[in-house]
Amino acid sequence: GNVTTDRDGVAILSLPLVVEGTYHFTASVVGDNFYESVETNEVTVVARKHITDISLEVSAPPLAVDEDIRFTAIVTEEDAITGEIVGLYGLDVEFSDEGGNVLGTVSTNNGVAMFSTNGLGIGEHTISAQVVETPTYHSSIDSVDIQVLLYPIIKLGLDGSEQVTNLIQGYETTIK
């Protein structure tokens, strides 16, 4: 690109490096009647993709077939300057069942992608959430194991109250 120098003779060119790779830059000044033409030494810039981190949680435990199960994926990266962990915007997260059966794709908003489904069959499932790789972001993946029951288990308390339970991730979850 071409830029003009400011009053101090400084020229700044800003380019978004959107693809991982090695870039080589030189700058040259076209001479005129008062100044000679000059070319700088080559400068090498290495652009790397951002490394993402993803964490998948089951936000609402499945009680039975045909009931909604909500999954929440948290997608973050470490800020290269401050070292803070920040949520990422606009990255696609693909939710899938074992065997790569894609259940849906959701974009992140402040690092959060939420997906709900009631389409899982009875039995154990491994659900994965994967950040879709882009030219500037690496992919990352996390998964959870869940169990969908044919119907909820109802336990009657001594006081006559009902407690609905379900097995999720190897733990018995009670909903009162």
Residue-wise pLDDT for 71-93, tens only, equals 999 999 998 788 899 999 999 99
> How many angstroms separate the CA atoms of 119 and 98, rounded?
14
pLDDT of amino acid 141? 96
Q: pLDDT value at position 173?
A: 43
Pick the closest to residue 70 from 107, 95, 99, 90 (CA basis): 95
Tell me the pTM.
0.66
Closest CA to 169 of 101, 67, 71, 96: 71
Predicted confidence at residue 154, as pLDDT, reads 57
Which residue positions in the chain have pLDDT lower than 70? 17-18, 60-65, 151-176
* pLDDT for res 168: 43
